[in-house]
Structures are given as C-alpha cells and as structure tokens.
C-alpha cells in the first residue's frame, strides 16, 4: 500500500479518451511491445478528459519557454493486469541484470523487490487502492525537441534506483553548471515546472510520472479526496 491509498475517491465517472495528435506518443508502446495483457481494442494511450486538457495546457506553457519543443507520452492508462505483468517483468529483468535468481529467496532478491516497489505501485485489485495508472489520471512522459526527438534526461524512464528521483542530478549540476548533469537537471526541472503550472503533481520517486485527480495527486496537493478511481478493466463503456 502507498501513503495516498487512505484518501477517499469520489468518482466523477469521466470516460477515458484517446490522447490527441497534438501530443506525441512513444511508439510502439513499450509495454504492449513486451506482450503486456491490455486485451483487444484497449489502447494504452488514453486518459481522463480532465487530464488531457491539462496536458495540452502544460504543452502550451512548455512551448512558450522552448518554442518547438513538445511533450512525449511514454505511457498513460494501464489496467491492473498490465501493472501485475510489469511488476513481475521488472523484478525478473533487474535480478537478471545483477545475476541472481528471481525465483529463489535471498537477501539480494529482497533488495531488488524493494527497489522495484519504489517505482511500481502494487497491482492491487482493491477499488479503494488502485494503482495510479489504472485510474486514467497518471501519465509517464518526457520532452522532445523541435524535430520530435526525445531529449536526454539523465536516466531512462523506469530505471531502477536513485537515478530516477527528480532531483538526482542536482548536486552535480550545482558543482559544474556546464556539465551534462546540469543540462539533465535543467530539463527535469522544466518538465516538472510546466506540468505543475497545469495542476499536476509529480511522483516523488519518478521524474517522468505526473498525476491529476487520482489519490497520489490528492496526497501531494492536499486535496481531501480524489476524483478518479480505477477505470476500464472490465467495463468497455469506459473506454471512450
């Protein structure tokens, strides 16, 4: 469970909508390409309408500061089945990277599991504690230049470890303003700033993850309740 899961949800019953063409997408979708179980006719590039309108506002703010730059959507709506798939995939991949058996209990495996859990919300089936992406209120995104090329941000989306924390490069940036770390930190700050200007709240452990209207957003913004709960797992009428 997460600290925000105690916040009540007052569902506004707003359907998922396809992300408009004004916002770039990272395609092919990274999790669908791995075989994540979205199911037929269930696009991951969907969000609640209130979230979409604020994303467009954030992009307008970005382009005032950096003409031609744009937001690039990495991931949006994610059903619980996909959350469960990706938690397992991340655990197995990270264990493989450091050379340990993901299916054999050990101290090292426990450490990997804790590191994965710092990024990936539990794939809870409890409607009172939905993973943020299952609500259609959370989005993973980055910045692209005027040619539509994703910019280096000093760490890949979904990277396990401290490198994913929003301020990871701050100390290095302060030590050397001409370093690559300073550029990465500046870009992370820019992304956070333009998203905040549209009302989004950032995940404390992920430079790329922003929410509006879910429990995480309510927890970080001080709202008394969330307005979006889990959507789309079994009700196809919610898919827009």
Pairing of strands 70-75, 16-18: unpaired
Q: Is the dihedral of CA 233, 236, 238, 240 positive or negative?
A: positive
3-class secondary-structure state, position 202? strand
Residues with catalytic annotation? Answer: 206
Binning pLDDT at 50, 70 and 90, where does residue 240 land? very low
**Residue given tokens 């599991």 in the structure block:** 113
Render 138-166 in DSSP notation, one character per residue: EEEEEEE-TTSPBPP-SS-TT--SGGGST
pLDDT, tens only, 156-186: 999 999 999 999 999 999 999 999 999 999 9
Q: Answer whether residue 15 shows pLDDT above 60.
A: yes
Residue 237 clears pLDDT 80, i.e. is over it: no
- What is residue 233's predicted lDDT score, i.e. its pLDDT? 65
Answer yes or no: is 62 within a domain.
yes
125 domain residue, yes or no: no
Residue 33 placed within a domain: yes
Does 22 fall in a domain? Answer: yes
- Residue 238 clears pLDDT 70, i.e. is over it: no
For residue 218, is it within any domain?
Answer: yes
pLDDT of residue 225: 98
Per-residue confidence band for 84, with pLDDT thresholds at 50, 70 and 90: very high
Residue 115 lies in a domain: no
Q: Find, among 83, 19, 78, 5, the residue nearest to 51 by Cα.
A: 19
Rg (CA), the chain: 18
Domain encompassing residue 195: 3-79+135-239
* Average pLDDT over all residues of the chain: 94
What pLDDT does 40 receive?
A: 84
Dist CA 57 CA 174 (whole Å): 30
Tokens 């090329």 -> residue: 149
What's the confidence (pLDDT) of residue 236?
A: 37
Task: Read off the CATH number of the domain in which 164 is found.
Answer: 3.30.1380
In a domain, residue 126? The reply is no
Please tell me the pTM assigned to this model.
0.94
Residue 92 lies in a domain: no
Give the residue-averaged pLDDT of 130-143.
Answer: 98
The total domain count for the chain is 1
What is the share, in percent, of the chain residues with pLDDT greater than 90? 93
State mean pLDDT over 5-30: 95
The yes-or-no verdict on residue 202 having pLDDT over 50 is: yes
Mean pLDDT within 114-136: 96
Check pLDDT > 50 for residue 117: yes
């Amino acid at each position: 469970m997460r600290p925000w899961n105690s916040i009540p949800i007052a569902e506004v019953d707003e359907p998922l909508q396809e992300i408009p063409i004004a916002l770039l997408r990272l395609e092919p979708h990274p999790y669908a390409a791995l075989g994540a179980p979205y199911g037929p006719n269930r696009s991951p590039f969907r969000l609640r309408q209130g979230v979409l309108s604020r994303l467009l506002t954030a992009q307008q703010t970005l382009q005032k500061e950096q003409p031609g730059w744009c937001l690039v959507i990495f991931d949006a709506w994610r059903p619980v089945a996909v959350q469960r798939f990706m938690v397992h995939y991340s655990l197995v991949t990270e264990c493989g990277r450091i050379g340990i058996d993901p299916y054999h209990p050990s101290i090292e495996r426990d450490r990997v599991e804790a590191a994965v859990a710092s990024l990936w919300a539990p794939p809870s089936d409890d409607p009172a504690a939905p993973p943020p992406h299952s609500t259609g209120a959370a989005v993973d995104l980055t910045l692209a230049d005027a040619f539509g090329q994703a910019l280096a941000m000093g760490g890949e989306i979904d990277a396990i470890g401290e490198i994913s924390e929003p301020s990871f490069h701050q100390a290095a940036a302060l030590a050397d303003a001409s370093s690559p770390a300073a550029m990465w930190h500046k870009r992370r700050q820019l992304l956070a700033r333009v998203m905040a200007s549209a009302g989004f709240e950032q995940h404390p452990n992920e430079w790329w993850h922003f929410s509006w209207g879910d429990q995480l957003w309510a927890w970080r913004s001080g709202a008394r309740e969330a307005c979006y709960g889990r959507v789309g797992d079994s009700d196809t009428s919610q898919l827009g």
